[in-house]
Amino acid sequence: MGEHRVEVTVNGRSVSAMVEPRLTLADFLRDRLRLTGTHLGCEHGVCGACTVLVDGAAIRSCLAFAVQMQGCAVTTVEGLTPSNGAASDGAASDGAASDGAASDGAASDGAASDGAGLSELQAAFRAEHGLQCGFCTPGFIVSATALLANHPDPTVDQIREGLSGNLCRCTGYQGIVRAVQAAARARHAGHGAGAGHGAGAGREADGE
């Protein structure tokens, strides 16, 4: 199958690569750019684990082809994580595997176990028990980012609707809703929503 050149900005870095038309955006990000924070669960558009931002809109990267990203700006969970926002070394080349050093950017990442280097939203997930195994977390972080961009002060219903395309099979959703509420409040207050603010914050979500 012939290859096509795609030029795309990923987490702020220009990437030019030759890709087969059948290569999904998810596989391009994970296998070619080593941005493995974008997870693959169902691979047919149901679970939301593969969610990324394309020109600011949340999409499922398992349902998009890399070649469709020509001229677009893609943001993965790594790009939303202050400690590792740039694509890994080699990402700007023709897709050769890089050093593989990119961590997955999930709030459960062991390297960030002290909470350092997390975004406000990631810190809120951590503080509000919005994750357990963390597999779904990158997708939730990306979807919640898009949600908060459109609704800086979202209601519980708006949060639930905005995250309705993401499935979590272990934590339950109340902590996730609380986390988004806490992040929104923290932004309004102009300070972080990190550890120490979790237990009493955002209880409006309880009982939903």
What does the binding site for ligand FES look like in residue numbers (CB under 6 A)? Answer: 40-43, 45-50, 60, 62, 131-136, 168-171
> Any idea what DSSP says for residue 77?
G
Name the 3-class secondary structure at 112.
helix
Question: From the CB of 57, what's the least distance to ligand FES, in Å?
Answer: 15
Question: From the CB of 189, what's the least distance to ligand FES, in Å?
Answer: 27
Q: Of the two residues 35 and 92, which places its CB atom closer to ligand FES in the complex?
A: 35
Residues in Cβ contact with 5 at an 8 Å cutoff, skipping those fewer than 6 apart: 16, 17, 18, 19
Q: Of the two residues 176 and 187, which places its CB atom closer to ligand FES in the complex?
A: 176
Question: From the CB of 39, what's the least distance to ligand FES, in Å?
Answer: 7
Question: From the CB of 199, what's the least distance to ligand FES, in Å?
Answer: 19
Q: Of the two residues 23 and 131, which places its CB atom closer to ligand FES in the complex?
A: 131
* Helix axis angle, 137-150 to 174-189, nearest 10°: 50
Question: From the CB of 99, what's the least distance to ligand FES, in Å?
Answer: 25
Q: Of the two residues 41 and 117, which places its CB atom closer to ligand FES in the complex?
A: 41
Q: Of the two residues 46 and 189, which places its CB atom closer to ligand FES in the complex?
A: 46
Name the 3-class secondary structure at 181.
helix
Name the 3-class secondary structure at 205.
helix
CA distance 201 to 115: 18
Residues in Cβ contact with 164 at an 8 Å cutoff, skipping those fewer than 6 apart: none
